[in-house]
Structures are given as structure tokens and as C-alpha cells.
Structure 1
Amino acid sequence: MSVWIVAFTLRGANLAAYLGRTLPGARAFSMAKYAAQAGTEPVERLADWCRRAWEEAEGLVFVGAAGIAVRSIAPRLQSKTTDPAVVVVDEGGQFAISLVSGHMGGANELTRQVAACLGATPVVTTATDVNGKFAVDVFAVKNGLAITSMRRAKEISAAILAGKPVGLHTVLPLEGEVPPELTLGRVQEENVEIGFHARYPGSLLLIPRGIYLGLGCRRGTGMQELVAAVEAALAAHRIPRCAVAGAASIDLKADEPGLLAWAREEQLPLTFYTAEALRQAEGDFSPSEFVKTVTGVDNVCERAAVLAAGGGRLRIRKQAAHGVTVAAAEKEMRIVL
């Protein structure tokens, strides 16, 4: 997790600097007049720092009064599914408080990490944590599962807190002990299903994000052509869009404007492989002499998908439409309880 830490006094700046050295992926900032002495990055205007941190960091740590943090982040709050983690630490290092995005954003876990670094008391107020119960949103984030309905997730948590059993149903193998709040394979009034499609009405569906697309396209192909081709391929194989975790192609396409624009719009990581790397992919692929003549490898999209999925199995063989070729592979996943 990338973490930005900010402080407002010299004592706080020294604490921020320590956290910056101790927490993995952390950067320490303080108001400019303390930066040189504390060894932190200078901040001229807190509002500007907050805007940049909100866009670039996964977690924000404010060293100082909770009120400063609340007022700073208030204009930027949007959703618990997208907001970064926000933690507050007093400048004496006595308490670390999870303020925003405790579960899905990881603020509760970041709070515990900060507290461990400082020997501080972690303050976590989310109901499932306070009561020591299974938290379905934390479970989903930890296992790379997309939550299809936050309303249903809240209802599942409410049922658990009320002591009602919740059924757990999965198409993926499980690792670990099933929590006592869940009944594996038994249909209850409230159910959680892991897979691409729900079998029981009213279930909370958690979709594994293990699909990786392999893409090829003609020079100059626009973003809309890519959107149409990908949507058609996924729909034809009944794969939800939120199951897609990334995409890949050959390095000859690394400067293709339409492809790059598509990845930005979809907010997906895009990996490029050399022809040599693609040739190393293992599997039964659809060969094309023309593609081999142009790129140096007999198939781009299927091989790229398999490599991106860590050697996973092909779910969609090469489909061509709108000047675009699409394939998809599924990464092997296990659910950790």
C-alpha cells in the first residue's frame, strides 16, 4: 500500500519521518518550516497536498488533531468503495485511529500497522471488528472479489451481527477454516455466493477478479472499437465485466493510442510482452502465419492472456471484430478464509 503521511508541528513531523522510514511504501510530509529539520518532504498548502494524496496514494495518515483530518478530507469523500484509507495519529504517538474506509480501503489494517510501529493503541470502531465477527467486505478485498451490491453486503453484515447463520457457496476451492458465522454449502435465509453467476435468489454475489484479456488490434484502432469487441466477447461467454483484472498485448502495441485510452478508461493495468516472451507461453493456441509474419509470434491475444493470467487456462479463444482480436484466460484462484 502506498501511504502518504502529513504532520503540522515539529514533534509531529519527527513522528511522521519515523513512520515514513518504518512503513513499507510510505512518504513523510510536513509543513514546509519543519521539513528540513525533520527530514520530511515540504508542504506549502494542506489543501494541495490532500488533493494530490487523494489521487495518488492508497492510504493517508494525518499526524495531529482528528478535526484537521476531517475538514481536509470532507470535500473529497465519495464512496467507501473508492475512497482511500484515512488514519489519524496524535503527535504523541499514543493512539492510531481508523477514520475512513476501514474495510474496503484498508484503514483498519493500516491503523494496526501504524499502531504496531509506534507502540500505540489502535482505535477501530467498525461493528464487525468491535464484535469480532466475519466481515464480508474485508473478506472480498483480501481475496480479490468484486462486491456486486454494497446494499446486500450491509444486509449480510447486519445478519451476522444479529447472530443469524449465513450460507457460503463457492465455485473456487477454499483454504482455511470456515468462520462460525458461515455455513458452507447450506442454503440459509441470507447467502454469499462466489462465482460469476448467482444460483440462489437474493444472494450477495462476489465475483472473482481473475480474468485477464489478451488484445490485438490494427494500427489506428479507436477506443470505441476496442470497447465494442471486448464487451461482445465477454457477453458471448457470460463473463461479467467486473471479473476482468487486467489486459495484455505485444510490445509492438505499446504506443497504440486507442489501446492505451481504452485501458485508462477501463482503469485496468495493461502489460506488454515481447514476441519472445509470448512464444514461451504454454498451451494450445490458434496459429496464424500472417500474424507470425507481422509480429514474430503465431498468436498474440491468446498467448498474452495466458501470460497475464500467470499461466491460467483459456476461457475465450481468439475472437475478431471491429479490427480487434480478443482472448481471455482465467487465473487460478483459491479463497482464503
Structure 2
Amino acid sequence: MPKFSEEDALLEVMSDHNKACENAFKECQLIVFVGAVGIAVRTIAPYIKNKAVDPAVLSIDEGGNFVVPLLSGHIGGANGFAKALAEAIKATPVVTTATDVNKLFAVDEWAARNNMIINSMKAAKDFAAALVDGQEVGLVADYPIISGLPRQMVIKDKGKIGIAVTKDRSLKPFDKTVQLWPQNLYLGIGCRRGTSLEAIETLVLSKLEELSIDLRTIAGVASVDLKKDEEGLLAFAAKYGWKSKFFTAEELQNAAGEFSSSDFVRSVVGVSNVCERSAVLAAENGRIVLPKCSLNGVTLAIAEADIVLDFEKLS
């Protein structure tokens, strides 16, 4: 039987430890280390990618005195997690991000908490730097604002740097514009039994490109409950990480609005339209931005959920 030295045993333990960290980076939203910050930093270093995808990482000392957010403080929510955990265990949160230290608006955190996509992390970084530097920043929004604006932010349509909350990717009113795209679009899909993922994908992707809609702004896919076991539809939603919603024929029939009608569809599923009605219901009675279209036995409609902008509420 081979002999193992203490060094071999330590290396084996560290290998298991690193593998666990690698898996956690792939699967977890939040990782908490208990121990020295230096050990946590060395452990996570090989797996750090960028702030848009990294999980929140916290480090708590063994005495439970301090909770330190190490990674993804804003987008991943580490700063918020640190404050909540510190309150729960009666510790001190150690938050070091410049916007938090200076009590300024953090665009990346606000975007993440409000399901918005930041088009450029470089622009977001420049925006934060402008605030820390004491500069005035602008705001253009295609949606209603129901709160006061953060310090140093004003509504205007031009200037050095600002935010545009919009679906229009060509809207860049400032010299440096941070575009925020709400993730509030829903795909309503109808299809024949046995329709392939590829057939659904062909229609959907072509229409999204035609409308200049970014894939990341899609919040989910919806259809009639008769399709809840449709393999092609489920595989399509899973491929893009979109949640699926299914409605009964009665629920679809009661959807508010004017919709196209098909006697054939009514005879099959019990309601005259699936794609438009399911998109509207998924969007909580939002407005249709793409009426029914079809290709190779697949029908598609897109609806946008109504949103309001509240800068005084993070969640």
C-alpha cells in the first residue's frame, strides 16, 4: 500500500477544495467563505471571469465580526447580501465599492435588481467614475418614472454622459451613453405536434433580428397548456435559458385585447389564437409589439410587459 506524506494529503485536500469552488462558480448565485480573506481570494482567483457573470462572493472571519463582499458587489448582489448577512449575525459589513462609500447611485446594481441589461460595462464604469468625480449625469427614458432621481442625475437629452432606458439600440443621446434594456419581452408560440427546436428557432431568431431585439431582453416563452410536454418547444426555451409559461384554453380566451382568429386553431386547442394571447398573458396584459406571424407550422407573437422606473427602490 503506497504511503502518503502530509504534503500529499494537503495537496489532495486543496484539490478537492478548488474543485468545489469551480463547481460553485458554475452553479451558485452566492458563495460564502468562512476564514481569512486571503485564502478566499487565492481560491477564487482561477475562476473569476467578469462582473457580468461572476457569482457574489463573501468572506466572513471565524469570529463572525466582519462580512466582506469580495466579488460582484453590484450586479451579483454581494454588497446587499453582505449587509443582510451582517445584520442577521450582528456583524459589520465591509463594503468598499466607490459608489457605496460615497452614497451614490450604482447603475449596475440598479440594473440587475430591476431586470435590465447593460449594453456596455465600459460605459457603466465611466458613468460611475463621473458620479464619483462629482459630475452631473443625464437620463433619457422610454418608460414612466415614479420617483425622484438620484443625486447628480437630471433628465436631459444630450450631454457628456448619461443613461438611456430604452429598447431602441440606436438611441445614444450622450457622448457616452449607458443603454439599459429592460428584460420584459415575452414570446408567445404556437406549433404543430412534433415541431422541432430548429423550426421554432428559425422563425423566432429571424424576427428578433428583424426587430433589432437583443436575446437577453426576452423574459420568457408562453403557449397553451396542451404544449407543456412539446419536446421541441421545451428544448428551445431551455437552450436560451428562458422560463416557460403555459395557459389553459379558458385563460387564453379571457385575455384582454383584440387578437387574430383561426377556426382551425379553435378546433384543435379550444381557443382561436394561441401565440398572441399567451404572449399578452405572460406579459401581464402588456402590449403586443409583434402580431402573429408564422413559418413552417410555427406561430409567434411578442408582447412587452409594462414597467415603471423607481430609483428610490432597489428591488
TM-score by length of 2: 0.87
Q: Give the distance between the partners of 2:233 and 2:27, measured in 1 at CA.
A: 23
Alpha-carbon offset, residue 262 of structure 1: 1.6
Q: Give the distance between the partners of 2:277 and 2:88, measured in 1 at CA.
A: 44
Higher relative contact order (CA 8 A, sep 6+): 2
**Superposition map of 1:226-265 within 5 A:** 226-265=200-239
- Per the alignment, residue 244 of structure 2 pairs with 270
Task: Please list every run of 5 or more consecutive structure 1 residues that lacks an aligned counterpart in the other structure.
Answer: 1-43
- Per the alignment, residue 319 of structure 1 pairs with 293
- Per the alignment, residue 108 of structure 1 pairs with 79
**Superposition map of 1:66-145 within 5 A:** 66-145=37-116
Alpha-carbon offset, residue 186 of structure 1: 4.6
- Per the alignment, residue 287 of structure 1 pairs with 261
TM-score by length of 1: 0.82
- Checking the alignment, whether the CA contact within 8 Å between 2:67 and 2:91 is kept in structure 1 is yes
Residue deviations 1:127-174 (CA, integer Å, cap 9, x gap): 111122111111211222110111111111111111221111101111
Q: Does 1:172 align with 2:143?
A: yes
Kindly provide the amino acid, as one letter, of the partner of residue 247 in structure 1. V
Residue deviations 1:189-221 (CA, integer Å, cap 9, x gap): 112111112142642111111111101122332
- Per the alignment, residue 9 of structure 2 pairs with none
Task: Please list every run of 5 or more consecutive structure 2 residues that lacks an aligned counterpart in the other structure.
Answer: 1-14
Q: Give the distance between the partners of 1:199 and 1:73, measured in 2 at CA.
A: 37
Residue deviations 1:56-108 (CA, integer Å, cap 9, x gap): 33111122222332233233222211111111111211000001100000000
Q: Structure 1 vs Structure 2: percent identity of aligned residues?
A: 44
Structure 1 pair 47–317 and aligned structure 2 pair: CA distance change class (3 A): same
- Per the alignment, residue 41 of structure 1 pairs with none
Total equivalences in the alignment: 294
- Per the alignment, residue 183 of structure 1 pairs with 154
Alpha-carbon offset, residue 276 of structure 1: 2.5
- Per the alignment, residue 223 of structure 1 pairs with 197
- Checking the alignment, whether the CA contact within 8 Å between 2:189 and 2:298 is kept in structure 1 is yes
- Checking the alignment, whether the CA contact within 8 Å between 2:184 and 2:217 is kept in structure 1 is yes
Name the Cα RMSD after superposition: 1.9
Q: Give the distance between the partners of 1:291 and 1:229, measured in 2 at CA.
A: 19
Q: Does 1:336 align with 2:310?
A: yes
